[in-house]
Chain A
Amino acid sequence: MSGAILPAPSQRTATTGSGIGMSAWANMFFVLPYIIVVVALVIAPLFLGIWLSFQDYDMLGGWAGGVAFENYTNLFSDRIFLGTIRNTLLFVVMTTPAFVVVGLFLAITLNSHLRRHAVLRSVFFASSVLSVTVVTLVWRLVYLPNQGLLASVTNLLGLPGIDPVTSETWALPGVAVVTVWWIIGLPMTLFLAALQQIPKEIYEAAALDRASRWATLTSITLPSIRRTIVVVTLLEVILQFQLFGQALLITGGGPDNRSRPMVQFIYETGFRDLQVGFAAAASQVLFALMLVAAIVQFWVGRSRDER
């Protein structure tokens, strides 16, 4: 995932002349505007955030000096915050396998130039372009007790009604379903791109070797895109850690905090209660968790590659 995209140390480095590859201070002006933007709007906030997390800073009460690890100790004795960690992890565990499995199934099934496959791909991708507001609006309507589409279907099938918005059991899965519905297009597209890299000749050779459909899938298709499967899993874990809008707008984090994710906690403490230092500390915890997850994933993928 990294390494390959670093620019190779240029073969033509010299201090004089003006050839295409030659080094010159003036060339830095091409990247300077962007570097300034990144430093001002990513790097600086990153360090400011770390600093803030050790401060007693309240937007209303103002700055009351450093408090060392107090924000962190408070966080880890905060039942609601601990609940959001659990919810977030649960959500990641629910959605990531769904994204990988459904995305892979769709990609393998729809990987062709057939027109009907192209139409189906469009259907599964289309919802990805909607904003979280539109998506949650649609699904709150679907989830409406009695009048909602879900209720109509369960009634029709004679099943007991589910209300994901108010049920402690179904709130988080309800949000997970919306999320998978919303952006299944991303893993599907990534898998499709990988599948299209597999040379057609390999399939022809397998067919001549009388490989069954299942053998072709398990010994050619899946091994060929193993790297992509790792990358997509990693990507989804990182993305789903950032759950926010769907939870806020569908369940509001309820009932009884059962669907409140970490980001919503950051939002509420930082921007509703204006406890900036406390929210910054929560941000650091989230970032650390995401980094750990990413490193574990990367490491697992790596060691499997080496075997």
Chain B
Amino acid sequence: MKIRTPSTATGDRLILLAVVLLAAIWIAPIVWVVGLSFKPNEVLMRTTGGLVSPPFTLKNYTDILNSSAVFGWMLNSAIVAIGQMTLTLILASLTGYGFARTNFPGKRPLFLLTLVALAVPEQAIIVPLHTMFATLDLHNTYIALITPRLAFPFGVLLMTQYFRAISPEIEEAALLDNASRLRIFIFIVLPLSVPAQATLGIYTFLHAWNDYFWPLVSATRPEMYTLTVGLASMQTNFAQTEGLGFLMAQAVFAGLPVLVLYLFFQRHIVAAVAGAPTR
């Protein structure tokens, strides 16, 4: 990419070496945890050295599988993440299209409202939000876990920008083809926005799956915990180190699905993150 002269080759190598070293530091904690998660707790009590030396065991993982709570939490996380993703896609698509391609009285102020919402951090409203849901007696329900995250201005901006980039001629052609506004949206605009839907969808799913603060305060009954909150609740007795291997297996068990997801959808996830400065 960059133009290189022979004299800079040594410098390049040094920099690459530095980056590789940094990457090794970055990846070390994960490798260490994954490796030790296959070792018996009794061995870890004595020493955490000897990463690749036997004995190995799968007991830490079977212990997780035997604790039924984890599966319930995973199911909750899946329901919440898929629900949030689906509803966000619907809302963001409709709204993005409305802002990008239609005109109506009050469009500018309403768009500004969306931008203002972007500036309000979760922490500024979580107390009153909690009070509202408590008043409606909705805590410990999926509704409470899902709905507060639907006000996701970033998704609206992403879709607005995407729709704006679609040539208006195509919609005008559809208009001349006697298609109604709704038909144009469903049969022309939505199919054309599949790449953006994928990006926003993956991003929203991950966000919901990893969400911590709101599920922590809203879901107070263990059976309504999401995986994130549930795992955190198990870490309270950290001083008792007899379960080191078990804790490591938990980390791997909870982290692996998202890492796999990341490997498959890396392009979309990075695209969504790169879209963030446009807000």
Contact = CB atoms under 8 A, between A and B. Distances in A.
B49 A290 contact: no
A129 B125 contact: no
B95 A20 contact: no
Interface of B is mostly: helix
B94 interface: yes
A280 interface: yes
A286 B123 contact: yes
B258 A283 contact: no
B172 A133 contact: no
A42 B231 CA distance: 28
Nearest to A48: B128
Given A249-B235, A283-B124, A147 B98 contact: no
Contact of A283 (B113, B126, B157, B161): B126
Interface stretch (A32-40, A75-83, A93-101, A299-307): A32-40
A95 B112 CA distance: 31
A174 interface: no
Contacts of B187: none
Interface of A is mostly: helix
A52 interface: yes
A245 interface: yes
Most chain B CB inside 10 Å of its own CB: which residue of A13, A129, A270 = A129
Given A20-B101, A21-B103, A30-B95, A7 B3 contact: no
Contacts of B277: 190, 193-194, 228, 231-232, 235
A137 B49 CA distance: 19
A162 interface: no
Counting contact residues on chain A (CB < 8 A from B), the size range is: 35 or more
A90 to B, nearest CB: 18
Interface string B2-24: 11010010010001100110110
Given A13-B103, A20-B168, A130-B210, 4 more contacts: A31-B99, A49-B125, A206-B3, A280-B128
Interface in A128-174: 128-134, 136-142, 144, 147-149, 152
Interface stretch (B56-64, B129-137, B193-201): B129-137
B29 A139 contact: yes
B157 A34 contact: no
21 contacts: A7-B111, A7-B160, A9-B108, A20-B172, A26-B181, A34-B151, A37-B147, A43-B117, A46-B125, A52-B131, A111-B1, A124-B22, A129-B210, A129-B261, A131-B258, A141-B244, A147-B48, A181-B29, A244-B212, A245-B212, A245-B213
A115 interface: no
A134 B231 contact: yes
3 smallest CB-CB distances across A and B, nearest first, come from A30-B98, A27-B102, A131-B210
B11 A192 contact: no
B140 interface: no
B247 interface: yes
Given A20-B175, A33-B94, A149-B29, A189 B273 contact: yes
Interface of A: 1-2, 5-7, 9-10, 12-13, 18-31, 33-35, 37-39, 41-46, 48-49, 52, 57, 59, 106, 109-113, 120, 122-134, 136-142, 144, 147-149, 152, 181, 184-186, 189-190, 192-194, 200, 203-204, 206-207, 213, 228, 231-232, 235, 238, 241-242, 244-245, 249, 262-263, 266-267, 270-271, 276, 279-280, 283-284, 286-287, 290-291, 294
B33 interface: yes
A129 B269 contact: yes
B259 A126 contact: yes
B247 A152 contact: no
A24 B255 CA distance: 48
A291 B116 CA distance: 12
Contacts of A186: 273, 276
Contacts of B231: 133-134, 137
B273 to A, nearest CB: 5
A271 B130 contact: yes
B203 to A, nearest CB: 10
Nearest to A137: B251
A24 B206 contact: no
B165 interface: no
Contacts of A294: 119
A283 to B, nearest CB: 5
A203 B206 CA distance: 37
A193 B101 contact: no
B103 A22 contact: yes
B150 A27 contact: no
Given A22-B103, A131-B228, A147-B44, A2 B115 contact: yes
Contacts of A147: 44, 47-48, 241, 244
Contacts of B15: 109
Contacts of B16: 109
B215 to A, nearest CB: 11
Nearest to A148: B48
Contacts of B276: 186, 190, 235
A18 B103 CA distance: 11
A149 to B, nearest CB: 5
Contact of B181 (A2, A27, A142, A249): A27
B122 interface: yes
A75 B119 CA distance: 24
